[in-house]
Amino acid sequence: MSGLNMAESLLLMEKDSLRFNYALLHDSNILKMLLPFAKEKLSKSKKSEIMEMINDEANKYKYTPTPQLKRGLLKELGDLYNIPHREYVVKQDIVDQCERIIDRMFLDMKSSNKKFKAFLNNSNLSENPLDAITKYQMMNLIESIGDHKFDPRQMKEVGDSLEEFFNDLPETQQKRIAEKLGINNITSSSIQQLIATNGTAVVFAAIVQVAGFAFYTTLTSVVAGIFGFVGITLPFVFYTTMTSLVAVVANPLIFLPALLIGGSFLLHKQNIKMKKAISPVVLMQILTSADSGKEPEWEEILNG
């Protein structure tokens, strides 16, 4: 079922999101990010130069046929985890490849990410790879907020965003969340009071327990708003992961010796590390940016 879920979501991806995520994996690398990274550090603006660079790369695919980008995104994810490319002759071929990508991503995270391994050990999750990956990303987002102190404007924005999210949920889920939070009515003001009293992470974690994956898109936009960055279309925690890897290479104590002794190996290693760090969020973007008003057209990426 996980492979089918990913495959159908890929087929229904909105084109802007598809272009961005393809460019993120296909065109982004540490070396390209060094100049935007330096500009970002020197600038007092909240604008993200790195995201601007990725958006510029994505715009190059404005006229690329959508089926080509969908096949390309699958290939990028498959290549990253050394999964051989398959011919997509029937629907099941696409589903199977998506299943392989999810399984390999899960195993890679489990073996190389100590935090993810601890999350698995401490949670009551069955080892359904897609379920584990998605819940881990959401908890990571919540942790990235930490004990952030909101100013009044931010607090109101968070409260309003959450109220809007709750109003779109089925009534049964609204009641369960209200019970979890210990309130009668879910409003912007009641949410703001809860956050002020209990902290953001406690409130968000309670919502995730009931709403699950449906809360991801709202959570992502709330976190981006909290930190005030313009143009970040990745969850903030993954943006910081990406920039921290660029910072390693940008360090003169590493970069200059690497050039002298042959820096291509270091750069290649950091590129792979960066892409593996952001590939789970690319998976999340695939799952959340589907156009729900359409039906998947499998034929568009099948080999004729």
Q: Which residues pair with 99 in a beta bridge?
A: none
Say how far apart CA 66 and CA 53 lie, in whole Å: 21
- pLDDT at res. 103: 96
Say how far apart CA 281 and CA 287 lie, in whole Å: 10
What average pLDDT does range 70-94 have in this prediction? 94
Say how far apart CA 212 and CA 168 lie, in whole Å: 14
- 183 burial type by CB count under 10 A (0-12 exposed, 13-18 middle, 19+ buried): middle
- pLDDT at res. 224: 65
End-to-end CA distance of the chain: 25
Say how far apart CA 9 and CA 29 lie, in whole Å: 26
- pLDDT at res. 285: 85
Percentage of residues of the chain with pLDDT beyond 70: 77
- pLDDT at res. 238: 54
Residue ranges per structural domain of the chain: 2-147+199-301
The model's pLDDT over 63-78, given as tens digits with 9 standing for 90+, comes to 999 999 999 999 999 9
The model's pLDDT over 190-242, given as tens digits with 9 standing for 90+, comes to 999 998 888 888 888 888 878 877 787 777 777 666 655 434 444 445 555 55
Task: Provide the mean pLDDT of the chain.
Answer: 81
Sign of CA dihedral 224, 250, 53, 47: positive
Q: Is the pLDDT of residue 121 over 80?
A: yes
